[in-house]
Amino acid sequence: KAGVTQTPRYLIKTRGQQVTLSCSPISGHRSVSWYQQTPGQGLQFLFEYFSETQRNKGNFPGRFSGRQFSNSRSEMNVSTLELGDSALYLCASSLYPDLNQPQHFGDGTRLSIL
């Protein structure tokens, strides 16, 4: 069974640009969450989607947005990129947004802002 797939694996952008990251959850998983990982702040929750609806959002500015499609695939978008947005962006999927369901993480997209 394929794991969580994130594309692209690496991305280099410049300040002011926007970027879209993609996540394909494990087959059958319907809940997708996004996290930002940096050396200074660690892993921080961005948002969670289930059945194409955002269920929960972390403490990030409105430049960070996401969506989920009917096939459970998810994308996140960051507009007007800042140097501080350089990070590893991780996607995790689970069957349902239920604490009894373990979350499975992808290997992330490494975003570098120049």
Partner 1 sequence: QQQVKQSPQSLIVQKGGISIINCAYENTAFDYFPWYQQFPGKGPALLIAIRPDVSEKKEGRFTISFNKSAKQFSLHIMDSQPGDSATYFCAASHPNTGNQFYFGTGTSLTVIP
Residues lying near partner 1 in the complex (CB under 8 A) are found at 4, 31, 33, 35, 42-45, 48, 50, 55-56, 58, 90, 92, 94, 97-99, 102-108
Per-residue buried b or exposed e for 77-86, using 16+ beta carbons within 10 Å of the residue's own CB: ebeebeeebe
Cis check for the bond before 8: say yes or no (omega within 30 of 0).
yes
Looking at beta carbons only, is 45 or 75 nearer to partner 1?
Answer: 45
Instruction: Give the shortest CB-16-to-partner 1 separation in angstroms.
Output: 29
9 vs 15, beta carbon nearer partner 1? 9
Which amino acid does the sequence have at 48?
E
Closer residue to partner 1 (CB): 86 or 97 = 97
Instruction: State in Å, rounded, how far the first CA of the chain is from the last one.
Output: 37
Distance CA 31, CA 97 (A): 6
CB closer to partner 1, 48 vs 85: 48
**Nearest approach, Cβ of residue 83 and partner 1 (Å):** 22
